[in-house]
Amino acid sequence: MQSTGFARWLVVLVETFAALFVLLLVMAVVVAASVWVLDRNQTANAVLRNFPVIGHFRYGFLRLGEFFRQYLYSSDREELPFNRAQRVWIYRAAKNAENTNAFGSTRDLRAEGVPFFVNAAFPALGDHHVKPKPVRIGPYAREPYDHAAFFNISAMSFGALGAPAVRALSHGAAKAGIWMDTGEGGLAPYHLEGGCDIVFEIGTAKYGVRTSDGRLDDGKLAAVCAHPQVKMVSIKLSQGAKPGMGGLLPAAKVTPEIAEIRGIPVGQDSQSPNRHLDIANVPQLLDAIHHIRELTGKPTGFKAVFGDMDMIAELCDEVHRRGIESAPDFIVVDGSEGGTGAAPQTLMEGVGLPLHEALPALVDTLVVKGLRERVKVICSGKCITAYDVARALSTGADFVNSARGFMLALGCIQSLQCNRNTCPTGITTQDPRLQRGLVVSDKTEKVANYARNVMHEVGIIAHSCGVDDPRQLDRTHCRVVGDDGISVPLVKLFPYPPGAGAG
């Protein structure tokens, strides 16, 4: 009798546990389904929108990393190309969230190469929100360009980026009052959609303005530059991540729309030449600048990564022979640390001057040759935080461009899949399923917030250094840590040419 009672009790217990298991399983399915529906229809987070339910594991691990990183994960400052501290700062800036820290910095202020700024003993009282003054680019062009914002969107082409990303950048740039560089992929309607100022880039393949044999089509270029939003034209000679090599757009990204805009076959790899067919020397470069400026009426310059300044010195001498109006209206110096969608590791890691060397060399060469005021200097190459931008301005840049900073503002998680058409956040992909995760209205605000917050914090640095306008920062305001752990003024590392002086 006792064994029978125990058996009955055991059966009841098993049935109860089975019923409870089924109930929990049903509840789990209902919860997962509800979360799936919510994730797929929310607009603020691209990862969860593209990968509902399972995407939450990423954020759980991200949160736990704060506590277990010393055992399982890298520290805040170890990862490359951008570490966790940099990425988190951008994410918070893009959300307009509070970006203050407690207790102390995790930045090693004794590490070689670290820049920091020297504060003034008696900074001015009052508000440090001083708006930068407009800078005129192209005084000899029919339509000179006056632009105030010193932090702008660098070259990223439609094709490398998907349409939602380009649209968000366009709208965000308009809200922040900054320009957007089209990159070499031609002018897409998405660039114009937000109403922002546009810098139209002509790459070596002359996408969007090319003849069938890859030459410049004047009619197409004139039509592009007839858009009032197009303010400048930039001739891309080379790119920091792959100097001496043209751009590559994988076949998977060459959709019919992209092929039509670029003027190339659908579904085939598109490899740009390693240089322009019609620009093989300095005189031909100046000829091209003159032709494009006269044709379009827009300020015209060029973008390059440099190995030395011999070419710039030769260019300046040629300008003096032709007349100062023949000079490029601007030069974009791209550091070898620049990013790209696809490049050989050898070129990406081992060719070209990094920005911290190339920028002062370019500025000083222009000073020595008497063309610094005529030619405006724009720089790009891993400038994503206020520190980076302030250092570039201190070195002598008039404007600072960023590409990957704005990609992070769009929601990039540094998954390093830009060249595979599998970007999980929908930024660097032409896959509609993945693009769905990027909601333009949400990312527009984040792009604008990021740009504003970078410029705001550069303003804080400038105010602390005792100057009103961030462009008044010079090499006396910045120090760089040497290999002995002791900092030296930037002006000692890169002295001003005789007669130039600070400021």
Q: Which pLDDT does position 102 carry in this prediction?
A: 66
Mean pLDDT, 10 residues at a time, the chain of 503 residues: 70 82 86 84 85 79 59 61 80 85 73 88 78 94 98 93 95 98 94 97 94 92 97 90 70 85 86 89 97 98 94 97 97 82 62 89 97 97 93 97 93 80 87 90 96 95 93 95 91 85 55
Q: Is residue 144 a contact partner of residue 299, using CB atoms and an 8 Å limit? A: yes
3-state percent breakdown (helix, strand, coil) of the chain, nearest 5: 45, 10, 45
Contact yes or no for 300/141 (Cβ under 8 A): yes
How is 216-271 classified by DSSP, letter by letter? B-HHHHHHHHTSTTEEEEEEE---TTSTTS--EE-GGG--HHHHHHHT--TTS-EE
Question: Cα angle vertex 244, ends 241, 248, to 5°?
Answer: 65
Q: What pTM did the predictor assign?
A: 0.86
CATH assignment of 135-493? Answer: 3.20.20.70
What's residue 483's pLDDT? 87
**In the chain, what are the domain boundaries?**
2-68, 135-493
- Which of 341, 211, 191 has the alpha carbon at shortest distance from 264? 211
What's residue 70's pLDDT? 44
Please name the residues in contact with 467: beta carbons below 8 A apart, sequence gap of 6 or more.
473, 477
Q: Determine the pLDDT at residue 123.
A: 87
Q: What pLDDT, on a 0 to 100 scale, did the predictor assign at position 169?
A: 97
Give the model's pLDDT for residue 71.
46
Q: Which two tokens stand for residue 111?
A: 């590490």
